[in-house]
Amino acid sequence: MAVEYLKYADSKKIRIDSYLAQTFPEFSRSFFGRLIKEGEVLVNGKQVKPSYLLSGEEEIEIHFPPPPPKKPLAEDIPLEVLFENEHILVINKPAGLVVHPGPGNAEGTLVNGLLNLTSKLSEVDIPERAGIVHRLDKDTSGVILVAKTNQAHFHLAQQFQERSVQKEYLAITHGVPKEREGRIDLPIGRSQRVWKKMKIDPRGKASLTYYKVQKTWGPFAFIIARPKTGRTHQIRLHLRAVGAPILCDELYGKEKELKYSFFTSFQKGTLLSRQALHAHKIKFQLFGKEMEFQSPLPEDLQRVLDFFQAHYPKESGISGKNDYN
């Protein structure tokens, strides 16, 4: 691990993460934000927050992590393959798995597992993103496409760019939208205050999500979301904007985990400890052939629905056939 020492001698106040990003332009402000939060940046020998304002005469000590290997290493990570041919892989990604290596995640990612699964992945992007056409958040589970050939990569990437790929997500929310079915058309931009968060921003990128409430239980809802655009954290922000933040969403939700004690004093433990968002279905074209794949609701989210149904026996939501299968 390389260590750098700096002295900030300017009297002009500036956030430490911004100052470090300006001093080391090869690294992003978000990179230094993570480094600071991990305690690898000290100011006058003490840990600080990324928002700390430098005002002059501070001694700064930076511990840079070793760079990730140019080519990620293959790792024996269990992966559920939904489909494979000579051009693509379709994976059912579990919650908790980062898609590709990056600062702070040099190993243990989907890409590392893919390299153990096959030696044939597209090389359109940098080696750390071999085969990756689109992404899912770390704690979002579900179906994800992987390109094995450059030809397939370009073909799929074009469809994502043209917004012709049809995606469907299943979400459990802590909050119920006023309208049971609707269209959320709100632009999204990056937060200037918290490096890893996005926000609804009139100056942001156009973002569109369709949703439909399937069931409700008291303050909770089960929702189908169909995003037309693919902005970072889009569904999470859009559902929060209509009063239905994703359950256990640590960035935008009401809680980091849902304990049984929320409902009863007689049961201990945690019902859910990751954001309740699942990539359920994807539909696209592969060289003229229409393809569709589904990932069933995982056990941890199904357990939440079963508990809600038992705890709220007079379920107050939509009756009749579900719109997903």
Angle at CA 281, nearest 5°, toward 300 and 191?
A: 75
Angle at CA 251, nearest 5°, toward 248 and 322?
A: 45
Residue 137 annotated to the active site? yes
Catalytic residue selected from 76, 125, 137, 185: 137
CA pair distance 184, 229, nearest whole angstrom: 11
Report CA-CA distances (Å) from 149 to 89, 118, 156, 166, 289: 10, 12, 11, 22, 17
Q: How many residues does the chain have?
A: 325
Burial class (CB in 10 A: 0-12, 13-18, 19+), 207: buried
Is the separation of the CB atoms in 91 and 82 below 8 Å? yes
Q: What is the DSSP letter of 103?
A: T
CA pair distance 95, 78, nearest whole angstrom: 13
Is the separation of the CB atoms in 196 and 212 below 8 Å? no
CA pair distance 113, 176, nearest whole angstrom: 38
Long-range contacts of 22-27 (CB under 8 A, 24+ apart): none
Q: Which residues are catalytic?
A: 137
